[in-house]
Amino acid sequence: MYRLITRLITVLWVVAAADVEVSTVSQDELRSAVIVNQLLLSQQTDILKELLNNTQHNQVFPGPYCPHPYTQVLDECFYLSTHKLTWEKARQHCQGMLGDLASPKHPYALKSFIISSIGIGDDKTVFVGGEDESKNRQFKWLDGRVIATSDWSPGEPNNSHGREFCVNLYNTRHPVFNDISCDEQHLFACQYYRPKAN
Ligand SMILES: [Ca+2]
């Protein structure tokens, strides 16, 4: 951006220098000055177009990679709550933060983020954005991806007591995901989804 502004200032300075008094020059000199000005104006147009593109890009990606209070983990933006809610209320909370419950592409990256934030323990389990919405044992992330078989903890999803339709992450387990009752109250992980560039 600084380079472009410098170029624009330089071009404007040259245009000003070429703006000589018409009354003191010949027609040939005047014609030459007009041609030079036309070339410089064309160059200014190109520079302004480039500046406009940069401005639009900055509007899509304002400031740092993840807006506060989200934290960048690999190429995703997470927020870990400090209070416990049911799955649905947790989702509303995340949506109120311009995100949604986390649907991590890299579950172990989210696990590491949780452990580094609050330590490890079964009492520190975290709701994430996976659910069996149709209640037919088809668990999906909120972005529509099916939760990979390899990401479930051993023996899960087991639909314990026939009422486990939401997904949580146990940072004590490997792999990490478990189906759990949506009505329990747990900590939760939100995710901010960055707008895609055009
Ligand atoms: Ca379970």
Query: What local confidence, expressed as pLDDT, does residue 86 receive?
Result: 98
Angle subtended at Cα 181 by Cα 178 and Cα 183, rounded to the nearest 5 degrees: 140
C-alpha 138 – ligand 1 centre gap (Å): 14
The CATH number for 97's domain is 3.10.100.10
pLDDT tens profile 99-126: 999 999 999 999 999 999 999 998 999 9
C-alpha 181 – ligand 1 centre gap (Å): 8
Q: Please give the single-letter amino acid code of residue 169.
A: L
Which residues, chain by chain, have CB under 5 Å from ion ligand 1?
156, 158, 160, 164, 178-179
In this prediction, residue 151 has a pLDDT band, given cuts at 50, 70 and 90, of very high
C-alpha 161 – ligand 1 centre gap (Å): 9
C-alpha 8 – ligand 1 centre gap (Å): 63
C-alpha 141 – ligand 1 centre gap (Å): 16
C-alpha 162 – ligand 1 centre gap (Å): 10
C-alpha 33 – ligand 1 centre gap (Å): 80
Residues 58 and 54: their CA atoms lie apart, in Å, by 6
C-alpha 100 – ligand 1 centre gap (Å): 22
In this structure, are 85 and 115 located in the same domain? yes
177, β-bridge pairs: 152, 169
In this structure, are 92 and 178 located in the same domain? yes
Query: What local confidence, expressed as pLDDT, does residue 30 receive?
Result: 72
Structure-token pair, residue 55: 């401005």
In this structure, are 39 and 101 located in the same domain? no
pLDDT at residue 43 greater than cutoff 80: no
Average pLDDT over residues 129-133: 98
Domain with 95, as residue range(s), is: 71-192
Query: What local confidence, expressed as pLDDT, does residue 52 receive?
Result: 60
Query: What local confidence, expressed as pLDDT, does residue 11 receive?
Result: 47
Average pLDDT, the chain: 84
Residues 147 and 139: their CA atoms lie apart, in Å, by 6
In this structure, are 100 and 128 located in the same domain? yes
In this structure, are 10 and 103 located in the same domain? no
Virtual CA dihedral for 89, 90, 91, 97, nearest 10 degrees? 110
Beta strand pairing call for 76-80 and 187-192 = antiparallel
In this structure, are 56 and 79 located in the same domain? no
In this structure, are 90 and 148 located in the same domain? yes
In this structure, are 45 and 76 located in the same domain? no
pLDDT tens profile 163-182: 999 999 999 999 999 999 99
Q: Which of 196, 194, 156 is nearest to 63 (CA)?
A: 194
In this prediction, residue 2 has a pLDDT band, given cuts at 50, 70 and 90, of very low
Of 60, 82, 98, which residue sits at a domain end?
60
Residue 198 is assigned to a structural domain of this protein: no
In this structure, are 76 and 13 located in the same domain? no
C-alpha 184 – ligand 1 centre gap (Å): 13
Residue 29 is assigned to a structural domain of this protein: yes
- Given a contact cutoff of 8 angstroms between Cβ atoms, the answer to whether 110 and 73 are in contact is yes
C-alpha 116 – ligand 1 centre gap (Å): 24
- Given a contact cutoff of 8 angstroms between Cβ atoms, the answer to whether 126 and 189 are in contact is yes
pLDDT tens profile 16-38: 555 545 455 677 777 776 777 67
Q: Report the share of the chain in percent with pLDDT over 70.
A: 75
C-alpha 56 – ligand 1 centre gap (Å): 46
Query: What local confidence, expressed as pLDDT, does residue 161 receive?
Result: 96
Residues 56 and 52: their CA atoms lie apart, in Å, by 6
Residue 81 is assigned to a structural domain of this protein: yes
In this prediction, residue 139 has a pLDDT band, given cuts at 50, 70 and 90, of very high
Q: Report the share of the chain in percent with pLDDT over 90.
A: 64
Query: What local confidence, expressed as pLDDT, does residue 117 receive?
Result: 97
In this structure, are 75 and 99 located in the same domain? yes
pLDDT at residue 41 greater than cutoff 60: yes
Asked if residue 154 has a cis previous peptide bond (ω within 30° of 0), the answer is no
pLDDT tens profile 155-164: 999 999 999 9
Structure-token pair, residue 107: 């579950």
Query: What local confidence, expressed as pLDDT, does residue 20 receive?
Result: 47
C-alpha 157 – ligand 1 centre gap (Å): 5
Residues 133 and 141: their CA atoms lie apart, in Å, by 10
Q: Is 119 left (phi over 0), alpha (psi -120 to 50) or beta?
A: left
192: helix, strand or coil: strand
Number of domains comprising the chain? 2
